Structure 1
C-alpha cells in the first residue's frame, strides 16, 4: 500500500504565499518553502522542477483563484451596470477575505520570474489574461462604450479604481476599512455614469 504524501502541493504553495508576503518574491526559495512546512527539500522538488516552476505556480494559482471569482461576479448579473458593480466589489471583498494572496498580487508576474516560465505556465497566464480582456471588452460593449475613452473608463471603474483602494491599505499594512466595498462601488458607478 502506497503511503499518501505528507505535504501536498497546496501546503507548499501556501507556504510560498506566506514567504512572498513577508519578504517579497526573492524570499520564495525551494529550501525556504521546505523549511516553512517542515518538509524535506525533496518534497518540494518532487512537485516543482525548480524555483522558476514554484514561482510560476504560486503566481498562477493566486491569480487564477482571483479571476475565477471576478468572472463569476461579472456573469452573475444580467444587467451590465450591476455586473460592473459586482466586479468592482469583488476586487475589494476578495482582497479582504484573502489578504495574503491580495498582497502577493500587488507584485506582478514579472516579479515571479515570468520571463523564465515554461511554455505551459506562459500559456496559462496568457489564457487567463485574454479571458479578463475579453470580459472587459464585453462589459464595455454592454455598457455602450463605443470608443477607446469609454473602454478605458470601464477598465478604470472595475479594475484600476478597486485595486487602488486595496493597494493603499495593504501596502500600509492596514486592514481594509469596513466601508471599502461600498465606497468602491459608489465610485465605480459614478465613473461609469459619466458621458
Structure 2
C-alpha cells in the first residue's frame, strides 16, 4: 500500500518554481527544494519520482494555470448571446487572450516568470517521464484548439492561414510587446498590444482561394505549441 503523503505537493512545486525563476533551472535540485521546504529528500522523491518529473510538474502547473485563465477570459466574450457572439465580441476575446500574460503575472508571479521567461527546453531537458511528456503535449494541443476556435468564431474557418493570424495576435505580439523588453507591467505597453491585435485582425487572413496553406487541421511547429507567448 502506498505511503500517505505528509506534505502538500504545491509547497514543493512553489519552491521549485521560485528556485528556477530566481537562480535558474540548474538550481532546482531535490536537496535545494528539501532545504527550502523542510520536506525530506525521500518524501519529494516519493511524490515526484525524479528531479526531471519535479521540473515537468512545475511547468505543467504553470501552463495549466495560464491556459485556464486564458480560456476563462475568452469564454467571457464567446459565451454571450447563447454562444453566438458578434464579431466585436470575438475580437474582444482575442484581445483578452493576448492580454492574459498581464493578469497571469499579477495573480501568479512565479508561475508567470517560469512559463513566460524561462526557456522550456532549458528547464525540462530531454529526460522527462513519458506521462509528463504526454501531459505537456496535451497543454500544447489545448492551446492550438483555443486558437482554432477563435479563428473559426471570427472568420468561420480553421485553415493554417487563418490560424496563423490568431497565433500572431495571442503569441507573437505579446512576446514582442510585453516580454522581450520587460514591459508586462506598463499600462502603455498593454495599450500598444490591444491596438496591434486589433490592427492585425482588421487585415485578417488572405482569401481562401489565395492561400496556398489552406487546410482544416494545421500542424503548427512544436516550438509554437507552448501556452503563453514564446520567450
**Does TM-score exceed 0.5, indicating one fold?**
yes
Q: Which residue of 1 aligns with 2:174?
A: 162
The answer on 1:82 being equivalent to 2:89 is no
Q: Which residue of 2 aligns with 1:181?
A: 190
- After TM superposition, give the deviation of residue 104 of structure 1 in Å: 1.0
Q: In 1, are the aligned partners of 2:56 and 2:128 still within 8 Å (CA)? A: yes
Distance 1:94 1:181, change over 3 A: farther
Q: In 2, are the aligned partners of 1:91 and 1:163 still within 8 Å (CA)? A: no
User: Under a length normalisation based on structure 1, what TM-score does the superposition of the two structures give?
Assistant: 0.86
Q: Which residue of 2 aligns with 1:11?
A: 11
Q: Which runs of 5+ in 1 are unaligned?
A: none
Aligned mates of 2:50, 2:25 — CA distance in 1: 15
Q: In 2, are the aligned partners of 1:114 and 1:122 still within 8 Å (CA)? A: no
Q: Which moved more, 1:47-56 or 1:150-159?
A: 150-159
Q: In 1, are the aligned partners of 2:52 and 2:127 still within 8 Å (CA)? A: yes
Aligned mates of 1:148, 1:3 — CA distance in 2: 48
Distance 1:4 1:132, change over 3 A: closer
User: Under a length normalisation based on structure 2, what TM-score does the superposition of the two structures give?
Assistant: 0.73
Q: Which residue of 2 aligns with 1:140?
A: 151
Q: Which runs of 5+ in 2 are unaligned?
A: 79-88, 205-231
Aligned residues: 190
Distance 1:41 1:96, change over 3 A: same
Q: Which moved more, 1:34-43 or 1:177-186?
A: 177-186
CA-atom RMSD in angstroms: 2.4
Q: Which moved more, 1:71-80 or 1:147-156?
A: 147-156
Distance 1:42 1:185, change over 3 A: same
Q: In 1, are the aligned partners of 2:25 and 2:122 still within 8 Å (CA)? A: yes
Q: Which residue of 2 aligns with 1:152?
A: 164
Trace 1:81-120 onto structure 2 (pairs within 5 A): 81-105=91-115, 106-120=117-131
Aligned mates of 2:189, 2:4 — CA distance in 1: 47
Aligned mates of 2:163, 2:5 — CA distance in 1: 50
